[in-house]
Amino acid sequence: MIKEYLDRNNLHHAYLIEGKREEIVPELFEFINSLGINTNANPDFVHMSLDSFKIKDARNLRSYAAEKSFSLGHSSSTDEVFAKKIFIISANHFLLEAQNSLLKMFEEPIKNTHFFLIVPDTNFFLKTL
């Protein structure tokens, strides 16, 4: 179901997905694997599953996202060599300070870095996020 909304040739830098993490996360893993990105023992792939996403989590994420990618990928459609970093963060709650930190990070996206935020209810998010 998620794959219907994701363009494998033109990934956005950030997605906010509402639903049950136990249903969405396996679909995302399958989609990411279909891109040729390994989800096992890959330093450019991070999956965080938390009850509450706090400011310290946001700061750590921001720092890690800014680091250089370890692996290279290849786009069959453009013949471009690239390095993608993928972050899946699923949490029941994203604290306000953490949301503000994410907002700052998303306002200045890092090339070939993609975030998937999974929440049970998007109504608790800042409208600007």
Output the pLDDT for position 100.
96
- What total of structural domains would you count in the chain? 1
CA dihedral defined by 75, 104, 67, 24, rounded to 10 degrees? -50
Q: Give the tens place of pLDDT for each residue, 31-90.
A: 999 988 889 989 999 999 999 999 999 999 999 998 878 765 545 554 444 578 999 999
- The mean of the pLDDT values for the chain is 89
Output the pLDDT for position 4.
83
| CATH code: domain of residue 79 | 3.40.50.300
Distance, CA of 80 to CA of 75 (rounded, Å): 5
69 domain residue, yes or no: yes
28 domain residue, yes or no: yes
Provide the whole-model pTM. 0.88
18 domain residue, yes or no: yes
Output the pLDDT for position 82.
58
Output the pLDDT for position 81.
45
Who has greater pLDDT, 80 or 22? 22
CB of 45 closer than 8 Å to CB of 38: yes
Domain, as residue range, for 69: 11-122
2 domain residue, yes or no: no
22 domain residue, yes or no: yes
Distance, CA of 71 to CA of 43 (rounded, Å): 8
Give the pLDDT band of residue 5 (cuts 50, 70, 90).
Answer: confident
Distance, CA of 59 to CA of 53 (rounded, Å): 11
In the chain, which ranges are continuous DSSP H helix?
21-34, 55-66, 96-107
Distance, CA of 42 to CA of 93 (rounded, Å): 26
Query: What's the whole-number mean pLDDT along residues 101-127?
Result: 93
5 domain residue, yes or no: no
1 domain residue, yes or no: no
62 domain residue, yes or no: yes
